[in-house]
């Protein structure tokens, strides 16, 4: 395990400990925009993660959900942090949320860590080294067709004021697969697709911190990652499609509005 991955793991576990300790004491809740809450715990976890990273890598850039860009001297390395992915779930006591940390070097993801403190699940990936859950290798599901697949998606708060709200895609997929789930954490959706609990995941209006950790984990577990039209995707795109590869083209076809297979 590289030093960067070790730091990311330690930071994620430290933030996860705070989430467990504060799950019944979330403190004040404010709103960045309609239905997009931030709690005292978000901020505390973010500070904890950044302090841990800066202790070892003081010159690295930081892109974090609550504090935005924190750049010092120009660096080729950037940490992308979501201290609490699933804040709305956390604020309601619904146990589906996580810590997500990704490291980008010269525009390429090098490390990804996602920690689910509710189930003590630690997902880790390093570029070219595969992905693990609690130290054991993971890989995507072998299910070959969409009608036998369990899919997952989400609805970002931004859809409230948008006609591009993902409901059309949701309805079409519901008629083409076994079922669609909507847990409320994009990072969790990504890693659960990576480990084969879901065959595919798609979502709109995401930010880099929502996906940076999970995207590398999914890729290293053998997932196919694109935009909705099948073209290459980065953490800076606002749409993402991730699958086990087997059902990817079927998902692209549905997202592009092609007739459903019956």
Q: Is the separation of the CB atoms in 223 and 244 below 8 Å?
A: yes
* Helix, strand or coil, per DSSP, at residue 141: coil
pLDDT given at position 162? 77
Q: Answer with the residue of higher pLDDT: 37 or 2.
A: 2
200-214: average pLDDT: 96
Whichever domain contains 94, its CATH number is 3.30.540.10
Asked if residue 152 and residue 81 are part of one domain, the reply reads: no
52-76: average pLDDT: 83
| d(C-alpha 30, C-alpha 63), whole Å | 21
Both tokens of residue 69?
A: 């860009």
The percentage of the chain sitting over the pLDDT mark of 90, rounded to a whole number, equals: 83
Tell me the backbone φ, ψ of residue 61, rounded to 5 degrees: -80, 155
For the ranges 4-13, 154-163, 243-252, the lowest mean pLDDT is seen at 154-163
- Cβ count within 10 A of residue 153: 20
Tell me the backbone φ, ψ of residue 117, rounded to 5 degrees: -75, -20
Asked if residue 230 and residue 157 are part of one domain, the reply reads: yes
pLDDT at 72 over 60: no
Q: What is the residue range of 212's domain?
A: 146-255
pLDDT at 33 over 90: no
Note the pLDDT tens digit of each residue in 111-139: 999 999 999 999 999 999 999 999 999 99
- The answer to whether residue 260 is domain-embedded is no
Going by pLDDT thresholds of 50, 70 and 90, the confidence category of residue 30 is confident
99-107: average pLDDT: 96
pLDDT given at position 258? 87
pLDDT given at position 256? 95
Whichever domain contains 161, its CATH number is 3.40.190.80
Going by pLDDT thresholds of 50, 70 and 90, the confidence category of residue 31 is confident
Going by pLDDT thresholds of 50, 70 and 90, the confidence category of residue 159 is confident
pLDDT given at position 50? 97
Last residue of a domain, one of 72, 105, 137: 137
- The answer to whether residue 218 is domain-embedded is yes
Q: Is the separation of the CB atoms in 138 and 132 below 8 Å?
A: yes
Average pLDDT in the chain:
93
| d(C-alpha 41, C-alpha 23), whole Å | 9
Cβ-based burial of 240 (10 A; exposed 0-12, middle 13-18, buried ≥19):
buried
Q: Which helix (H) or strand (E) segment is 16 a member of? A: helix 3-21
Tell me how many domains the chain contains.
2
Going by pLDDT thresholds of 50, 70 and 90, the confidence category of residue 211 is very high
Asked if residue 174 and residue 199 are part of one domain, the reply reads: yes
Asked if residue 232 and residue 165 are part of one domain, the reply reads: yes
pLDDT at 25 over 70: yes
pLDDT given at position 160? 73
Q: Is the separation of the CB atoms in 117 and 83 below 8 Å?
A: no
Asked if residue 7 and residue 126 are part of one domain, the reply reads: yes
- The answer to whether residue 127 is domain-embedded is yes
- The answer to whether residue 62 is domain-embedded is yes
pLDDT given at position 232? 97
Q: How many angstroms separate the Cα of 129 from the Cα of each of 5, 23, 180, 181, 221?
A: 11, 34, 31, 30, 10
Note the pLDDT tens digit of each residue in 40-50: 999 999 999 99
Asked if residue 153 and residue 123 are part of one domain, the reply reads: no
pLDDT given at position 262? 55
For the ranges 30-39, 163-172, 197-206, the lowest mean pLDDT is seen at 30-39
77-99: average pLDDT: 95
Express the helix, strand and coil content of the chain in percent, nearest 5 each.
Answer: 35, 30, 40
């Amino acid at each position: 395990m590289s030093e960067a991955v070790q730091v990311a793991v330690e930071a994620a576990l430290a933030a996860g400990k705070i989430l467990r300790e504060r799950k019944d004491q979330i403190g004040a809740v404010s709103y960045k925009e309609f239905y997009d809450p931030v709690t005292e715990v978000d901020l505390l976890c973010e500070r904890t993660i950044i302090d841990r990273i800066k202790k070892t890598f003081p010159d690295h850039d930081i892109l974090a959900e609550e504090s935005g860009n924190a750049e010092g001297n120009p660096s080729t390395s950037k940490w992308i942090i979501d201290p609490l992915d699933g804040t709305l779930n956390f604020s309601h006591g619904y146990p589906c949320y996580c810590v997500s940390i990704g490291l980008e070097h010269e525009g390429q993801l090098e490390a990804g860590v996602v920690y689910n403190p509710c189930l003590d699940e630690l997902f880790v990936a390093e570029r070219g080294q595969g992905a693990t859950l609690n130290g054991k290798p993971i890989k995507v599901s072998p299910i070959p067709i969409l009608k036998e697949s369990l899919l997952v998606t989400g609805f970002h708060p931004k859809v409230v004021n948008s006609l591009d709200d993902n409901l059309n895609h949701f309805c079409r997929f519901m008629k083409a697969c076994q079922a669609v789930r909507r847990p409320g954490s994009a990072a969790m959706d990504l890693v659960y697709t990576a480990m084969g609990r879901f065959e595919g995941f798609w979502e709109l209006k995401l930010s880099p911190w929502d996906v940076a950790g999970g995207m590398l984990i999914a890729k290293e577990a053998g997932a196919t990652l694109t935009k909705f039209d099948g073209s290459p995707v980065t953490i800076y795109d606002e749409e993402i499609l991730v699958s086990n590869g087997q059902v990817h083209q079927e998902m692209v076809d549905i997202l592009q509005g092609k007739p459903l297979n019956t």
